[in-house]
Amino acid sequence: METRTIFFIGKPGCGKGDQTRLLSEKTGWPIFASGDLFRAIAQENTPVGKKVKEENYAGILQPYWFAMYLFLTTLFSIPEGGSAIFDGFNRKLPEAELVIDAMKWLNRPFTVLHLKVSDEEIKNRLALRKEKEGRADDAFVDRRLEEYREYTEPCIELFRKAGVLIEIDGEREREPIAADIRKALSLE
């Protein structure tokens, strides 16, 4: 199997985490999720940990430069020939631009998978997730969707123009979505 670098993008609650896990289980590729990294930092009893926790609880995206620091540190640690799945490292325009620049600089082909889900479905999913998992950021659905429209939608257009975007209907059950992803990536 050839080396692959996959990025997931979409609204909060669109299923990026589930789909990264399913793809990783199928391929064995490691997952690097900014949300997981930020939630771990938020548990630290440091000034940075406290600031990250405060912004996570308010449903605010972390600063792009912090997300990019985590992304580049992770990207540069991947061994030559290693594949990877990234979740959430491309939510603001400077992040998307840096992803494109870094991947070009490394001469590393990549694909961005956009899971398309309606606002109504997102609100239902996040309400369920908050109830089940107790994620504090899920209490700020409208704010998170507003940030998505302001920051992330321009990234999707940038990736589309760069010719690396694949759109997937994310409004179905997990397995049909996963099958479409594998098909789009020529893994089946």
Residue 20 included in any domain: yes
- Please determine, for residue 101, whether its predicted confidence score (pLDDT) is greater than 90: yes
What would the two tokens of residue 66 be? Answer: 């912090």
Residues of each annotated binding site:
34, 39, 129, 135, 144, 172
SS3 188: coil
Q: How many domains does the chain have?
A: 1
Residue 55 included in any domain: yes
Query: Residue 87: beta bridge partners?
Result: 8, 33
Q: In terms of residues, how long is the chain?
A: 188
Those residues whose C-beta lies under 8 Å from the C-beta of residue 44, and which sit 6 or more positions away, are: none
d(CA 103, CA 97): 10
Residues of each annotated binding site for AMP:
34, 39, 135, 144
Phi-psi label, residue 181: left if phi above 0, alpha if psi -120 to 50, beta otherwise: alpha
Please state the pTM of the whole predicted model: 0.88
d(CA 42, CA 20): 22
pLDDT, tens digit (0-9, with 9 covering 90-100), for 144-160: 899 899 999 999 999 99
d(CA 12, CA 94): 19
pLDDT, tens digit (0-9, with 9 covering 90-100), for 9-54: 999 999 999 999 999 999 999 999 988 899 999 999 999 999 999 9
Q: Which of 80-94, 144-158, 172-186 has the lowest mean pLDDT?
A: 80-94
Q: What is the dihedral of CA 47, 37, 134, 92, to 10 degrees?
A: 90
Give the pLDDT band (50/70/90) at residue 138.
low
Residue 188 included in any domain: no
Residue 186 included in any domain: no
What would the two tokens of residue 69 be? Answer: 């620091």
Residues of each annotated binding site for ATP:
129, 172
Q: Kindly write down the DSSP assignment for every residue of 50-100, as one continuous string.
A: HHHHHHHHTTPPPPHHHHHHHHHHHHTTSPTT--EEEESS-SSHHHHHHHH
Residue 187 included in any domain: no
State phi, psi for 112 to the nearest 5 degrees: -110, 120
Residue 86 included in any domain: yes
Question: What does the pLDDT average to over 69-85?
Answer: 93
Task: Give residue 179's pLDDT.
Answer: 97
Give the pLDDT band (50/70/90) at residue 131.
confident
CATH number of the domain enclosing 124: 3.40.50.300
Range of the structural domain that residue 88 is part of: 5-181
Query: Residue 115: beta bridge partners?
Result: 10, 168
Q: Which residue has the higher pLDDT, 7 or 91?
A: 7
User: What distance lies between CA 79 and its chain's CA centroid?
Assistant: 21
